[in-house]
Chain A
Amino acid sequence: MKKLLIVLGVLVIASIAFVYEGMNAKEQSKETAVNMPATTLPASKLTELQKDYPSKNDQHKKLGFDCVTCHGDFKDPKEVLPLQKEQCLTCHGDYKKVAKRTSFLDKKEVNPHDGFHHKDQLDCADCHREHKPSVNYCANCHDTKVWMKSTP
């Protein structure tokens, strides 16, 4: 059983690396090395945690992410913090690339990834949530519905 898990694990890692390469190729960014963090948590614990903290992100689910893929290794789930932008950007390229995707909003200076007030200061998780419905940070102060659709 243990061996099978290891084999499966290796397969999953390989396929993720493959998909990343695909993503990166499409977006023409420099190659991103994906290091899957090692963990001391048993697989059963990870499965249990995934039930307690399910992902709402279909893409991440498809890629077979578990807790440590994004959060790194941890002992106690209570010490796990929301992700900072640098952590997300290890896979998603850099802030400029993300801003380019929403550059159609530049004309009115409301590109959420290169906004008038915050430029590249916001953390991805300020809007995009993995375990809860995403929100629009700009809506703390603005009527954002006129600018853009809901946050993926």
Chain B
Amino acid sequence: MDRRTFLKAGAVTATATALSVSSLAPFVEAEENTDVEFDEVFDIIVVGSGLAGTTSAITAAEQGNKVLVVDKMNILGGTSLISGLNFSCVGSDEQKARGIKDSPELMAQDMRKVSEDYGDPELALTVATMTTRFYHFLKDRGVVFKEFKQLGGHSVARAVWAGGGAFVIRPLHDYAKKSLADRLTMRKRCRVDNIVFDNGRAVGIQVRENYYFNFDAPEKDDEQNQTGKIKYVGARKGIVFASGGYCRDKKLLGAEADILEETNSDANPGARSGTLQMLLSHGAQAVNLSLFRLAYPIPTEDLMWGMLVNPEGKRFVNEFGNRNTIGMTILKEKQKFDGKAPLLIYDQTGADNFHDKQRFQLSMDAKNGYQGTMYKFQSIKEVAKHFGYDPLVLQKAVADYNAALDSGVDKEFSKDFSQMNGAALKKAPFYAMPLTPKCTYTPGGVRINKAAQMLNSTTGEIFTGLFAAGEATGGVHGAMRLTACSVPDCGAFGLISGDNVSAMIPVELQVKKK
């Protein structure tokens, strides 16, 4: 059964249980029905258990609401759980202790500098304005910040770090379990298939419980997965979609820009567009879906110490460039060679020059994500053997590169050799890895206003009862999300959606008699 037929079947079931589900035609008005019967009813439903969803749910539960969090995956926490979660924050204790002057306006300005004018500046300012409150929200609920950092693109030092996503998500989930158990329920393996509307207002969702994500063929999960049992859950006040991005959805990425199909991703395997498509089918507005953020297992700034060669043993790019230029060039090169990634090689001096040695070590330990492993070799011949190159071809490439370095001028790609600090391909041991840019974040998604309300593309009005937060939304960051700005985004719109959904006047919903 394909997705469409499934939805049809779902719609039939919906009619049978006297529900109004407008899943088939995007612009059909939701049928009005006051006799809606639900298997369960909560005040608020939050879709997604990552940082945005968790923040929204805790905020709403603390204001006395009965909240249900659903997540389709086998574990809770989403991509947040496996992310670094550096947090750009204005007004942290760390900033105060160092006497650093900062303001929301300055942070928003930094965010807009890399946005290439895509997206909505008002949303960026909203994010920056909410950081102080979010900082205390996290600290008061058990998150401990271990480090304070000055990160690239930020005009002042403002990033705090708890040690990784697990050190943010776990304390929050533990807190919810301990202090909000009577009001907050988190349910994994529960996928949202549709929204139930009543009098034009979103009043519930159609879910499948005991949903088993198809890890064997994840790219077909949205279309083909039939697991789970259909249930209807009501939301008296509203629904918050914090359902994440679509980094793993090669089909959508490829439709937006062909070469993006060549990217790797180590986001949550469930980071696909099923929920986004469902929201669009009801008229939600998609913005900035073509945008993407490329990253590498090792810092972009440390690519320059090495040489990049394609499968023919030829250089093709200035290794000392910006992340997206190098990334796009690599992706095009991969297309030329049937998806085979170019090779990045360092010598010992190059490895010693790394500004971020922790990430170099992570790569040596094979802990730097999918295809993020660096290997060590005693000779270029060994490198060639390991990666399937003709040794003579690779040795010639190395000799040419060294000769160019000795001459001081890169005639081919104008790399600034004066900055190399001795790095060449001369001093054994050598370090090498195939290099593919990862798509780590999708800045596009559903359009919201600064109150986290979802907007309707046909009417331009808000959807009553529908909110969105985090990577599921679009237009907050624009072209290149600034480092450490996803956490404040999840935090800001998590808090705002939590506040505003709590403030909704509840509708009365019936629970099905058993």
A residues bordering B, Cβ < 8 Å?
81-82, 108-110, 116-119, 121-123, 126, 132, 135, 137, 140-147
CB-nearest residue of chain B to A132: B216
Question: In angstroms, how far is the closest chain A Cβ from the Cβ of B432?
Answer: 14
Contact A121 B75 (CB under 8 A): yes
Contacts of A123 in B (CB 8 A): 74
Is B337 an interface position by the 8 A CB rule?
Answer: no
CA distance A118 to B165 in the complex (A): 11
| B contact residues around A143 at 8 Å (CB) | 366, 370-373
Instruction: Please give me the residue from chain A that is nearest to B265 by CB atom.
Output: A141
Task: Return the CB mask of B58-85 against A: 1 if under 8 Å, else 0.
Answer: 0000000000000000111000011000
CA distance A30 to B138 in the complex (A): 39
Chain B: residues with CB nearer than 8 A to chain A? 74-76, 81-82, 164-166, 170, 210, 212, 215-216, 266, 269, 365-367, 369-373
Contacts of A140 in B (CB 8 A): 215, 266, 269, 370
Residues of B within 8 A of A82 (CB): 212
B-side interface mostly: loop
Tell me whether A126 and B369 are in contact in the complex, defined as CB-CB below 8 angstroms, given that A116-B166, A117-B81, A135-B215 are known contacts: no
User: Within the complex, which residue of A108, A116, A132, A144 is in contact with B164, where a contact is CB–CB below 8 Å?
Assistant: A116
* Contact call A142/B81, Cβ cutoff below 8 A: no
Asked if A142 and B370 sit within 8 Å, CB to CB, the answer is yes
Are B74 and A122 in contact, CB atoms less than 8 angstroms apart?
yes
Q: Which residue of A lies closest to B371 (CB)?
A: A143
- Chain B's nearest CB lies how many Å from the CB of A124? 11
Task: Name A144's closest neighbour in chain B (CB-CB).
Answer: B366
Which residues of the other chain, B, contact A122 by a CB distance below 8 angstroms?
Answer: 74-75
A-chain residues with CB within 8 Å of residue B75 when the two chains form the complex = 118, 121-122
| Chain B nearest Cβ from A137, distance in angstroms | 8
| Assembled-state Cα–Cα distance A81/B210 (Å) | 8
List the A side residues contacting B164 at CB < 8 Å. Answer: 116-117
Cross-chain contact A142 with B215 (CB below 8 angstroms): no
A78 CB to closest chain B CB, in angstroms?
Answer: 11
CA distance A110 to B373 in the complex (A): 15
Query: Can you list the 5 inter-chain pairs with the closest CB atoms, starting with the nearest?
Result: A146-B366, A141-B266, A143-B373, A121-B75, A143-B366
Instruction: Report the nearest A residue to B365, measured CB to CB.
Output: A108
Chain B residues contacting A121 (CB-CB under 8 Å) are 75-76
